[in-house]
Amino acid sequence: MLLAIESSCDETAVAIIRRVEKGPELLSSLISSQIEIHREFGGVVPEVACRNHAQRIRPLVQQTLDDADLTLDDIDTFAATRGPGLASSLLVGLAYAKGLAAASGKPFYGINHMEGHLLSPFLESGHIPPHLGLIVSGGHTMLIDVQGHDQYQLIGRTIDDAAGEAFDKVGRMLSLPYPGGPEIEKLARSGSGHAFTFPRAHLKDAPFNFSFSGLKTAVLYQIQKLEDPQEHLADLCASFQASVIDSLVKKTIQAAKKFDHKIITLSGGVACNRTLQESLIQAAESEGFQVRLTPPALTTDNAGMIALAALLASENRPPDDLNIGINPNLPLAIT
């Protein structure tokens, strides 16, 4: 029975998982969102996020235990995200989880946030087969060659803005509410992806890397050219989204071919974008690949994915020393 805490950015999350014969069983997974608080600032304010984590974490842990009909005495292992993320936010979750572990004399595991995203499509089985993982979130865009649990090779990443970050920045350019991603996706449904020609970055020496800063600049220039950008809002959103998705899908398919994978996974906050899901599935199926999507509840930052990563870690390595600290720039362990 393992309790995990996630607090890497602006979502306070707690989950409880256990291993049963058929695979991992998520008994409870709760998220306390701060989106409405940060919306008035147009983005996440670290100090505000930290303060709200500190206020919410204790009652959320108790609510998660209550939902699972458990007490702290029933928990065998504790875990928390130790990076990457906002330092002040990470500190709250990690310190609280370590405190619970220390007080009860139970094991503790510090978990990489990106590994949580990477493994989230396999929550039901708990078995990690060889696959190509595409992580698309607000802070990261990564292609990872996975041979099994803790056997990862980074083969592509963004060299500037992450895809989710680009969505949010373009959303601000278009005066859309924060976060911009869901708003752009919603408006894009009634627009044309061919209305404006936006660039797709091709990096000759690093074919699986991504770049979205040039796209963001191209959108800004296009907005400045229009007499009334609001009249073209749906087309701007659709054309921008089409450029991002085209780049993500093409590079992912190319990587799957090169690294001889038959399974492609999609995870991270942007993985809930339906147009991205549909485009990736269509392109993959035409090449004979299978796509594993992350369950919707596990796409954004959540503790369920951290609990799964911690459960697998507990079955494959010793627990971490309680002196372990946060690392806001923690890299994904690469073999």
Render pLDDT for 58-70 as a digit per residue (tens, 0 to 9). Answer: 999 999 999 999 9
**Residue 43: which pLDDT band, with cuts at 50, 70 and 90?**
confident
Question: 3-class SS at 105?
Answer: coil
Beta carbons of 209 and 158 less than 8 angstroms apart = yes
Q: Of residues 101 and 21, which shows the higher confidence score? A: 101
Are 58 and 14 found together in one domain?
A: yes
CATH number at residue 134: 3.30.420.40
Range 15-19, long-range pairs (CB < 8 A, 24+ positions): 15/64, 15/302, 15/303, 15/304, 15/306, 15/307, 16/64, 16/65, 16/68, 16/70, 16/75, 16/307, 17/304, 17/307, 17/308, 17/310, 17/311, 19/126, 19/311, 19/315
- Domain count within the chain: 2
Range of the domain at 255: 129-294
Render pLDDT for 239-278 as a digit per residue (tens, 0 to 9). Answer: 999 999 999 999 999 999 999 999 999 999 999 999 999 9
Are 309 and 266 found together in one domain?
A: no
Task: For tokens 């951290």, name the residue.
Answer: 306
Residues 6+ apart with CB under 8 A from 20: none
What pLDDT does 41 receive?
86
Are 151 and 24 found together in one domain?
A: no
Whether residue 330 is predicted with pLDDT greater than 90 in this model: the reply is yes
One-letter amino acid at 37 equals: I
Are 29 and 174 found together in one domain?
A: no
Whether residue 335 is predicted with pLDDT greater than 80 in this model: the reply is no
**Residue 330 lies inside a defined structural domain of this protein:** no
**Residue 334: which pLDDT band, with cuts at 50, 70 and 90?**
low
**Residue 202 lies inside a defined structural domain of this protein:** yes
* Cα–Cα distances in angstroms (integers) from residue 255 to residues 93, 140, 193, 216, 287, in the given order: 35, 18, 25, 25, 12
The DSSP result for 264-282, as a single string, is EEEESGGGG-HHHHHHHHH
pTM across the whole model: 0.95
Are 117 and 155 found together in one domain?
A: no
Render pLDDT for 202-229 as a digit per residue (tens, 0 to 9). Answer: 888 899 999 999 999 999 999 999 999 9
